[in-house]
Every structure is written in structure tokens, then in C-alpha cells.
């Protein structure tokens, strides 16, 4: 068993809870990187630079990058001004994705609703989920609630979230930290980078010692 | 048929009809564990007055909608006695702050089905004929039969009371809104362990023309339905 690895200074507990942090078993979930939500959110350009940089690192080291596209799929009842209709200009992704990334459509604010997200996370061997995104108090905050109920161990990036309303975005992140981490934990992009690099160097150290398979017969 | 409720940010409901045959009152987690002495929230050290504040107005709303024949659904968060439905990270976090799920407390084992702390407090307890949904998580739609019960009863409009505003009530309202239910949250019939999070959770509902539905006081609702 490798030594436990935690991200530094996560609130309210050292994340992940079991110290089993490995980029190959991590999914970076970026919610609402869509034209309408990107335009309405505060600090979208800065946040997208951080998320795209993290996505490059995660993808380059065997992790999963997943983009959630929230769309109105013929929602019954009252039309929601903010939720872009599928196929409309505002629904299109506002960031460049890689062909190896997953783009998952959800039928509401919760990335799990009407989507294959939970299935993909379970079948893809994901052990930890990191979330960021745009209109974050609506998209990220809805998605992390359901993922947490499903048992996923979630980290929300405090500097990887671009809310529509800065105050409400901050309160949504504060709610997450209540009761010992009611939906997971909160941390920064730089601390996550550092912890992932630490876990990679630990893995490479482990791999450099001879294993049973490497000993010639 | 009734007039609409003077709600924020729009007169609720959007289709301007509060039909008792298609409207349900959802009472979220009014359990001893969340608002009673010796329960889970009390064990974590939070001020119980914050989560008990909505009991009295909720009792008034319950009395009114029972007279009008609305469907009433109560939810309870709790786990099986062997905790086999409790995610390991949820269990770890609760123990980490000294209020371990399944551990013995003044109201029995914390957040366990069948224990005294899991019961709904007497002020807003279910009566015969009302539905109770037991849920393992925060959202009342996840791993429960709530959506089936609502469809089977032809419910399209939901009015929410319960605790806590920013956690279980908000999660369930977001789930319901995604599914197309027309949602109203009663500001004085809810409460949270942090008053600022309570206020922010209500404000979030009203963003962008009502991104999760609308907000009204119990007095506004009662005026509309008892008119």
C-alpha cells in the first residue's frame, strides 16, 4: 500500500478522507463550460485558465477529464431562462476539449440528472472526483450534492469555480464545509497540483524497486 | 381554484393555478436528529433554535393543507441498523467530528432508522394517510420512491418546508426542479445551522428569474390558499 496522500489545506478535513489519491483514479469534472453560463459568470477567463491547465495535467497523467453540458431537453413545466436549449449557441462548450475527454450531457443543473455520469465514474475506476466550473452555485453545487449522495468522494476547487453571484458562490462553498464536510471538501487548484505531483513521485519511486514480474525467471 | 402566491421572483405558480389535486407539501427531515435535544445536530454543537424556528409556521401550514386535501409527504434521513447503506466517506466524516453515524447518543444510535432520534418531532408529525419517504442521503429523490409517488398521485407542484435550508431542502428542491416540478420554498418554514447560509440558499432560488423555483413566506401561501 502506498503512503496516504492528502491535498494540503483542504476544508474541513484532509481530502481525500482515506488518503487514496492517484491521478489515474481521479476524474476532473468541469460543469457548465458553455457559452451562456461562461458569459454570465464572474472571473470566467481566469477560472478557465486554471481549469484548462489542470485538465492538461490530469489527462497527461492518466486521469479522466469530463465536461458536463447542461441543457434543456424539453423540460416539463416552467422554462428556465438560464438553462440553454440543447443545440443552441449558448449551450455550446466555451473551452477547447481534447478528443480523449468525455463530454456528458445532463438534462438539468445536476450533472447526474438524465446523464451517464455516475455510470461512467463507476465503470471508469474513478475513486476521487474534483469539481469546478461556471455558474458554479447552480451547476457545480447541484452536481456535487448528488455525487456525494451516491458515495463519490468529492473536492470542489475554491478557485476553480466561477459563480454568477460572488456572494452566493462563496456561501455555496461555505455550506459544503458544514457538519464535517456535508458534501465533501474544498481546496485550491495549486494544492491539488502539488498533491498529485507528490503521489506521482511516490508511484515512480515504488515502481523503480524490483517487482515480482520484473525478476527474470 | 386559488389565486397565486405573492412569491419572489414571480407570482407562484407560473401556470397560476394552485390545484389541491396536483399540489403536495413536502416536509423535509423534521427529525429529532436535526432539531431535537440530544440529536445529531445538537451533538455536533449547533444552535438548535436555528433548526427549530420553522416548526410553528410549518404546523400552521400543515393544518391548512390537510383541510384542503393536499397530499403531504414527509422525509426522513437515516441508515439501516447495519449501516450497509451508508457510504464509507459519510461515515468517516461523521466520526471525524465526534458525531459518528450509528454511534450511541442521548437519542439512540445517530441517524439510524428506528431509533428515537430518527423520529419526526411531534409538532409536525405525520398523521394517518400521509406518505413517508426514507432516504439515505441529502436529496429525497436519490435511492427512494419519491418520484414514483409524485407521478402516481399526479403531483406537478411542490411546496417545501423543512431542515436544513441549504442542505437537504435545497438538494431536494434542486432535484425536483430538474425533474420539472414547479417548486416553492417557504422561507419561515425552513432553517439552517448557519443563518447566513439560510439566507443565501433562499436567494439562490430566486436567481435568474427563479433558477430553482420561488420563495414565499407561510403567511403569503396561507393568504393565497385560504383566501
Instruction: Give the strands of the sheet with A185-187, arranged side by side.
Output: A102-106, A64-70, A26-31, A128-134, A153-162, A185-187
> Exposure of B10 by Cβ count < 10 A (0-12 exposed, 13-18 middle, 19+ buried)?
middle
Q: Which helix (H) or strand (E) holds A205?
A: helix A189-208
Q: What is the pLDDT of residue A139?
A: 98
Q: Is B149 on the interface with A (CB under 8 A)?
A: no
Asked if pLDDT for residue A1 goes beyond 70, the answer is no
Asked if pLDDT for residue A208 goes beyond 70, the answer is no
CB contact under 8 A, B178 and A107: yes
Residue extents of the structural domains in chain B: 23-226
Q: Is B217 on the interface with A (CB under 8 A)?
A: no
Q: Which of A142, A165, A175 sits opposite B166 (nearest CB)?
A: A175
Coil/strand/helix, residue B223: helix
Percentage of chain B modeled with pLDDT above 90: 96
DSSP state of A144: H
Q: What is the pLDDT of residue A174?
A: 97
A128-147 CB burial, b ≥16 within 10 A, e <16: bbbbbbbbbbbbbbbbbbbb
CA angle, residues A134, A137, A138, in degrees to nearest 5 = 80
Cα nearest neighbour of B97 on chain A: A180
Torsion angles phi and psi, residue A108, rounded to 5: -165, -160
Predicted confidence band at B222 (pLDDT cuts at 50, 70, 90)? Answer: very high
Which cell goes with A83?
438553462
Indicate the average pLDDT of chain A: 94
Predicted confidence band at A204 (pLDDT cuts at 50, 70, 90)? Answer: confident
Q: Which of B142, B177, B197 sits opposite A146 (nearest CB)?
A: B142
CB of B184 within 8 A of CB of B224?
no
User: What average pLDDT does range A125-137 have in this prediction?
Assistant: 97
Interfacial residues of A (vs B; Cβ cutoff 8 Å): 13, 16-18, 40, 75-78, 80-82, 107-110, 113-114, 137-138, 142, 145-146, 148-151, 153, 164-165, 167-168, 171-172, 174-175, 178-183
CB of A98 within 8 A of CB of A68?
no
CA angle, residues A32, A72, B141, in degrees to nearest 5 = 85
Helices and strands (H and E) in chain B: how many: 9, 8
Which domains are assigned to chain A?
26-198 (3.40.50.850)
Question: Residue B58's closest CA among B158, B162, B129?
Answer: B162
A87-124 pLDDT per residue, tens: 999 999 999 999 999 999 999 999 999 999 999 999 99
Q: Is B23 on the interface with A (CB under 8 A)?
A: no
Indicate the average pLDDT of chain B: 96
Q: Count CB-CB contacts under 10 A for residue A117.
A: 26
Integer Cα distance of A192 and A187 in angstroms: 7
Collect all residues of chain A within an 8 Å Cβ-Cβ radius of residue B212: 109
CB contact under 8 A, A142 and B181: no
- B 70-129: CB under 8 A from A: 87-90, 92-94, 96-97, 99
Cis omega before residue A12 (within 30°)?
yes
Nearest-neighbour CA in chain B from A82: distance (Å): 6
Torsion angles phi and psi, residue B205, rounded to 5: -60, -35
Collect all residues of chain A within an 8 Å Cβ-Cβ radius of residue B181: 77
Which cell goes with A162?
466561477
Q: CA dihedral defined by A144, A146, A151, A152, rounded to 10 degrees?
A: -30
CB contact under 8 A, B44 and A17: no
CATH number at B23-226: 3.40.50.850
Distances (CA, A) of B110 to A34, A47, B27, B106: 42, 40, 20, 9
Asked if pLDDT for residue A216 goes beyond 90, the answer is no
Q: If you count residue pairs, one on A and one on B, with CB atoms under 8 Å apart, how many are there?
A: 133
DSSP state of B100: -
Question: Residue B218's closest CA among B32, B25, B14?
Answer: B25
Q: CA dihedral defined by A111, A114, A119, A120, rounded to 10 degrees?
A: -50
Q: Which helix (H) or strand (E) holds B207?
A: helix B195-210
Asked if pLDDT for residue B89 goes beyond 70, the answer is yes
Q: What is the pLDDT of residue A207?
A: 56
Asked if pLDDT for residue A206 goes beyond 90, the answer is no
DSSP state of B166: I
Percentage of chain A modeled with pLDDT above 70: 94
Beta strand B182-191 pairing with B157-163: parallel
CB contact under 8 A, A148 and B182: no
Q: Which of B87, B93, B197 sits opposite A175 (nearest CB)?
A: B197
Q: What is the pLDDT of residue A212?
A: 46
Best probe of the B interface among A4, A39, A78, by most B CBs < 10 A, is: A78
Question: Residue A29's closest CA among A175, A216, A194, A184?
Answer: A184
Long-range contacts of A203-212 (CB under 8 A, 24+ apart): A203/A2, A203/A22, A206/A2
Asked if pLDDT for residue A213 goes beyond 70, the answer is no
Asked if pLDDT for residue A214 goes beyond 50, the answer is no
Amino acid at each position: 500500500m502506498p503512503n496516504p496522500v492528502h491535498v494540503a489545506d483542504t476544508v474541513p478535513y484532509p481530502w481525500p478522507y482515506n488518503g487514496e489519491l492517484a491521478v489515474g483514479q481521479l476524474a476532473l469534472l468541469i460543469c457548465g463550460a458553455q457559452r451562456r453560463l461562461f458569459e454570465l459568470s464572474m472571473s470566467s477567463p481566469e477560472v478557465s485558465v486554471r481549469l484548462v491547465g489542470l485538465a492538461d495535467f490530469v489527462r497527461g497523467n492518466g486521469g479522466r477529464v469530463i465536461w458536463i453540458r447542461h441543457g434543456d431537453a424539453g423540460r416539463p413545466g416552467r422554462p428556465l431562462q438560464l438553462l440553454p436549449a440543447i443545440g443552441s449557441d449558448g449551450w455550446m462548450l466555451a473551452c477547447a476539449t481534447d478528443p480523449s475527454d468525455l463530454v456528458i450531457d445532463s438534462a438539468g443543473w445536476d450533472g447526474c440528472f438524465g446523464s451517464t455520469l455516475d455510470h461512467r465514474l463507476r465503470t471508469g475506476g474513478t475513486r476521487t472526483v474534483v469539481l469546478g466550473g461556471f455558474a458554479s452555485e447552480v451547476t457545480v453545487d447541484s452536481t456535487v450534492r448528488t455525487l456525494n449522495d451516491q458515495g463519490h468522494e468529492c473536492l470542489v476547487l475554491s478557485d476553480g469555480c466561477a459563480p454568477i453571484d460572488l456572494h452566493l458562490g462563496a456561501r455555496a462553498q461555505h455550506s459544503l464545509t458544514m457538519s464535517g464536510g456535508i458534501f465533501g471538501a474544498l481546496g485550491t487548484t495549486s494544492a491539488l497540483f502539488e498533491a498529485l505531483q507528490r503521489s506521482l513521485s511516490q508511484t515512480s519511486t515504488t515502481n523503480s524497486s524490483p517487482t515480482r514480474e520484473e525478476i527474470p525467471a | 381554484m386559488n389565486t397565486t402566491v405573492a412569491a419572489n421572483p414571480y407570482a407562484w405558480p407560473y401556470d397560476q393555478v394552485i390545484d389541491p389535486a396536483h399540489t403536495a407539501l413536502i416536509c423535509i427531515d423534521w427529525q429529532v436528529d436535526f432539531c431535537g435535544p440530544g440529536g445529531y445536530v445538537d451533538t455536533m454543537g449547533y444552535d438548535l433554535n436555528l433548526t427549530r424556528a420553522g416548526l410553528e409556521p410549518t404546523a400552521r401550514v400543515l393544518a391548512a393543507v390537510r383541510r384542503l386535501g393536499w397530499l403531504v409527504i414527509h422525509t426522513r434521513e437515516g441508515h439501516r441498523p447495519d449501516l450497509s447503506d451508508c457510504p464509507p466517506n459519510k461515515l468517516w466524516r461523521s466520526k471525524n467530528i465526534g458525531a459518528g453515524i450509528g454511534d450511541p447518543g442521548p437519542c439512540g444510535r445517530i441517524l439510524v432508522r428506528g431509533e428515537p432520534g430518527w423520529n419526526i418531532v411531534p409538532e409536525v408529525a405525520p398523521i394517518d394517510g400521509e406518505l413517508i419517504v426514507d432516504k439515505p442521503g441529502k436529496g429525497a429523490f436519490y435511492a427512494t420512491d419519491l418520484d414514483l409517488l409524485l407521478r402516481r398521485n399526479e403531483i406537478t407542484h411542490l411546496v417545501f418546508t423543512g431542515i436544513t435550508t441549504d442542505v437537504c431542502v435545497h438538494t431536494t428542491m434542486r432535484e425536483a426542479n430538474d425533474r420539472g416540478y414547479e417548486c416553492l420554498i417557504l422561507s419561515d418554514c425552513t432553517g439552517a445551522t448557519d443563518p447566513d447560509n439560510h439566507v443565501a440558499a433562499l436567494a439562490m432560488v430566486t436567481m435568474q428569474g427563479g433558477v430553482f423555483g420561488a420563495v414565499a413566506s407561510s403567511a403569503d401561501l396561507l393568504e393565497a390558499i385560504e383566501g
